[in-house]
């Protein structure tokens, strides 16, 4: 599994969604002019592009390939390749974006899926963006307060590992980018280094959820997990990503809006073979309990006052047998809930998240 972090001194690298769409359209046009018409062609071109960027920044790629680079150099090449590949595929599929409310996003962050069900999780598109509600995931970038506001997700075969489908997720905010890449099981269990314990017990609905672990008690829940803020934020985004993939399998869970983005793309709009569109999906369903405080407290590493005396039972996604002889499977969602004194959780009126 690949992990990467990039800090910037200014906000120049953090672009509006319109700016991201222009870059994606430019790369898509560049690859199409080179004859790239399939997913494999675009992915190969993206990694060749990343190699060209690397050689411009660092120097010639060794003849023996990427494996001869230092760990830091491999990370630079990987981040460039991940981002370039996502841009081109995002444009190919009409820039799909998923939006949701604070309460619905925090509910998905308090929800897990069993490792044995991970292989059944499918991405709704090869590349898509998740817009994270404002200030839900605060993080410090070089001592400056920031927050993660967008996650860019893609699935593909890595050039160094053509046998396994990899998922990549890039988390963006002012002055910071976090990257994770690997098989989906590796990402959700955080198998990123030999000394980092797998978090498979996070998916046990009968155990307290780490979101509600008192400060100082993380080791008891995470079995060697560092508790670093970057990792805590990444875990919340990864849970959100999995939740989005599962919830998008039911048409009743979202509303679709299609808009013409000709003006936003400028000169590159003319290169699209059909009218350039942007597709925005608003995901939501009735939310009974608000988990925003638990999510914010977890990523900030602080205590939660009255909430720490409660036990957060993680929600979970699971596949339920149905159909003739129970031969078919469908995803069902079991919501998270607080177990303990009734006055501690923030109970809200049911509303569409």
- Say if 181 falls within a structural domain: yes
- Say if 38 falls within a structural domain: no
Reference 95, options 131, 56, 127; nearest CA is 127
Total structural domains within the chain: 1
In whole angstroms, what is the distance from residue 72 CA to residue 90 CA? 27
Please report which confidence band the pLDDT of residue 226 belongs to, taking 50, 70 and 90 as the band edges: very low
Reference 111, options 310, 348, 331, 350; nearest CA is 331
pLDDT at 158: 63
**What average pLDDT does the structure give for the chain?**
75
Q: Region 2-10: what's the mean pLDDT?
A: 61
- Say if 15 falls within a structural domain: no
pLDDT at 200: 31
* pLDDT at residue 301 greater than cutoff 60: yes
Residue 88: alpha-carbon gap to chain centroid: 18
pLDDT over 70, % of the chain: 69
pLDDT at 167: 87
- Say if 47 falls within a structural domain: no
* pLDDT at residue 100 greater than cutoff 90: yes
Q: Among 31-45, 196-210, 291-305, 332-346, which is the least confidently predicted range? A: 196-210
pLDDT at 272: 64
In whole angstroms, what is the distance from residue 197 CA to residue 189 CA? 8
Please report which confidence band the pLDDT of residue 267 belongs to, taking 50, 70 and 90 as the band edges: low
The enclosing H or E element of 351 equals strand 346-352
Please report which confidence band the pLDDT of residue 261 belongs to, taking 50, 70 and 90 as the band edges: confident
- Say if 315 falls within a structural domain: yes
pLDDT at 133: 94
- Say if 115 falls within a structural domain: yes
- Say if 234 falls within a structural domain: yes
pLDDT at 87: 92
Dihedrals phi, psi of 160, to nearest 5 degrees: -95, -5
- Say if 63 falls within a structural domain: no
When comparing pLDDT for 254 and 304, which is higher? 254
* pLDDT at residue 101 greater than cutoff 90: yes
Q: What's the domain range around 322?
A: 94-352
pLDDT at 201: 32
DSSP classification of residue 58? T
Please report which confidence band the pLDDT of residue 80 belongs to, taking 50, 70 and 90 as the band edges: confident
* pLDDT at residue 224 greater than cutoff 50: no
């Amino acid at each position: 599994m690949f992990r990467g972090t990039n800090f910037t001194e200014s906000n120049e690298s953090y672009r509006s969604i319109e700016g991201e769409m222009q870059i994606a359209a430019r790369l898509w046009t560049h690859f199409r002019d080179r004859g790239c018409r399939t997913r494999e062609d675009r992915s190969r071109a993206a990694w060749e592009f990343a190699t060209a960027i690397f050689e411009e920044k660092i120097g010639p790629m060794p003849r023996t390939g990427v494996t001869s680079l230092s760990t830091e150099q491999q990370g630079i090449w990987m981040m460039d390749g991940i981002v370039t590949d996502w841009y081109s595929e995002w444009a190919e599929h009409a820039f799909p974006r998923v939006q949701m409310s604070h309460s619905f996003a925090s509910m998905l962050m308090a929800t897990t899926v069993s490792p044995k069900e991970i292989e059944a999780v499918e991405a709704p598109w090869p590349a898509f963006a998740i817009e994270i509600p404002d200030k839900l995931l605060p993080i410090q970038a070089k001592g400056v307060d920031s927050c993660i506001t967008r996650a860019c997700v893609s699935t593909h075969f890595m050039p160094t590992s053509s046998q396994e489908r990899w998922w990549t997720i890039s988390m963006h905010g002012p002055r910071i980018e976090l990257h994770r890449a690997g098989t989906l099981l590796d990402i959700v269990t955080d198998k990123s280094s030999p000394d980092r314990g797998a978090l498979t017990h996070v998916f046990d609905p009968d155990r307290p959820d780490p979101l509600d672990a008192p400060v100082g008690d993380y080791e008891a829940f995470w079995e060697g997990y560092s508790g670093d803020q970057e990792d805590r934020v990444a875990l919340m985004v990864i849970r959100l990503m999995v939740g989005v993939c599962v919830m998008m399998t039911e048409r009743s869970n979202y509303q679709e809006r299609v808009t013409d983005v000709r003006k936003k793309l400028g000169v590159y709009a003319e290169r699209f073979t059909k009218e350039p569109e942007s597709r925005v999906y608003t995901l939501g369903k009735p939310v009974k309990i608000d988990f925003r405080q638990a999510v914010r407290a977890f990523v900030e590493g602080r205590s939660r006052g009255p909430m720490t005396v409660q036990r957060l039972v993680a929600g979970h996604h699971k596949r339920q047998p149905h159909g003739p002889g129970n031969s078919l499977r469908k995803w069902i969602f079991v919501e998270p809930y607080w177990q303990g004194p009734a006055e501690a959780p923030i109970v809200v009126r049911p509303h569409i998240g």
